[in-house]
């Protein structure tokens, strides 16, 4: 009988082999960047987002959660400004906003600075939904880190904040990509 268990490919993926190059920090970078990439992927995984929604007791389609969150962050906000901040196309965002409005999470209000434009704001239902989603996310993170040493839990937000701040400073000084 032969073993049919798939064997891992011994070659590193190109994305991992290219990390760090000949830099003196190459080994460290190759140990850091793949888990960061995986964190971004798993945090956007529909199954995880659906679990959070289930635990929150809310039903928001996964493709709308980010738009709902960002409207809550920047409200009142014009669609064009929100699209720029989210770095997404206005057409795509417009469809998502229409779904959020139809579901009763978001309302359009007259823009006080431009009578021809509308501002987006969360409805009371949208605000309560977002509170419940973030509460459920907090519970999930608490569950995942429950057995971590206290020092690790305390270091994580500090280190993530420093990394985010450094990356943000690069983007703030970079030229804007063309609008889609």
Q: How many domains does the chain have?
A: 1
Q: What angle do CA 167, 136, 76 make, to 5 degrees?
A: 60
SS3 177: coil
Distance CA 25, CA 140 (A): 33
Q: What is the mean pLDDT of the chain?
A: 86
Is residue 38 a part of any domain in this protein? yes
Is residue 35 included in any domain, yes or no? Answer: yes
Q: Distances from the Cα of 151 to the Cαs of 21, 32, 141, 145, 154, in angstroms? A: 32, 19, 16, 11, 5
Q: What is the pTM of this model?
A: 0.73
- Residue 13 maps to a domain: no
Task: Please check whether residue 77 lies inside any domain of the structure.
Answer: yes
Q: Residue 126: which CATH number? A: 1.10.10.10
Which segments within 68-170 are labelled E, that is strand?
A: 77-78, 106-111, 114-122
Domain annotation covers residue 21: no
Residues 99-133 pLDDT 10s = 999 999 999 998 777 778 889 999 999 999 999 99
Structural domain boundaries, residue 34: 30-169
- At 18 the three-state DSSP class reads coil
For residue 114, what pLDDT is reported?
Answer: 78
DSSP letter at 115?
A: E
Instruction: Find the length of the chain.
Output: 180
């Amino acid at each position: 009988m032969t073993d049919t268990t798939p064997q891992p490919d011994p070659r590193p993926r190109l994305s991992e082999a290219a990390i760090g190059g000949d830099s003196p920090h190459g080994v460290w970078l190759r140990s850091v960047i793949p888990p960061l990439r995986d964190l971004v992927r798993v945090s956007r995984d529909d199954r995880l987002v659906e679990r959070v929604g289930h635990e929150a007791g809310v039903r928001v389609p996964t493709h709308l959660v980010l738009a709902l969150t960002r409207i809550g962050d920047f409200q009142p906000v014009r669609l064009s400004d929100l699209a720029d901040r989210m770095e997404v196309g206005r057409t795509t965002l417009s469809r998502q906003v229409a779904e959020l409005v139809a579901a009763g999470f978001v309302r359009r209000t007259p823009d006080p600075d431009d009578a021809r434009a509308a501002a987006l704001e969360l409805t009371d239902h949208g605000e309560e939904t977002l509170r419940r989603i973030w509460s459920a996310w907090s519970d999930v993170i608490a569950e995942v880190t429950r057995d971590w040493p206290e020092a690790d839990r305390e270091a994580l937000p500090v280190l993530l904040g420093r990394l985010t701040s450094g990356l943000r400073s690069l983007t703030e000084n970079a030229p804007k990509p063309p609008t889609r």
